[in-house]
Amino acid sequence: MRAIVDALAAGRLAGSARIVISNNADSPALIYARERKIRAHHISATSVGGDEAADAAICKALQAAGAEWLILSGYLRKLGPLTLRQFERRILNIHPALLPKFGGKGMFGRHIHEAVLASGDTVSGITIHLVDDEYDHGAIVAQREVPVLAGDTVETLQQRVMAAEPQFFVETLQALAAGRLSGKF
CA distance 119 to 76: 24
- DSSP-assigned beta bridge partners for residue 126: 144
Tell me, yes or no, if 129 is annotated catalytic: no
Give the separation between CA 26 and CA 63, rounded to whole angstroms: 23
Taking the CB of residue 76, how many other CB atoms lie within 10 A of it?
Answer: 11
Out of 41, 42, 95, 111, the active site residue is 95
CB 128 within 8 A of CB 169: yes
Nearest CA-CA partner of 175 in 128, 139, 132:
128
Q: Catalytic site residues?
A: 95
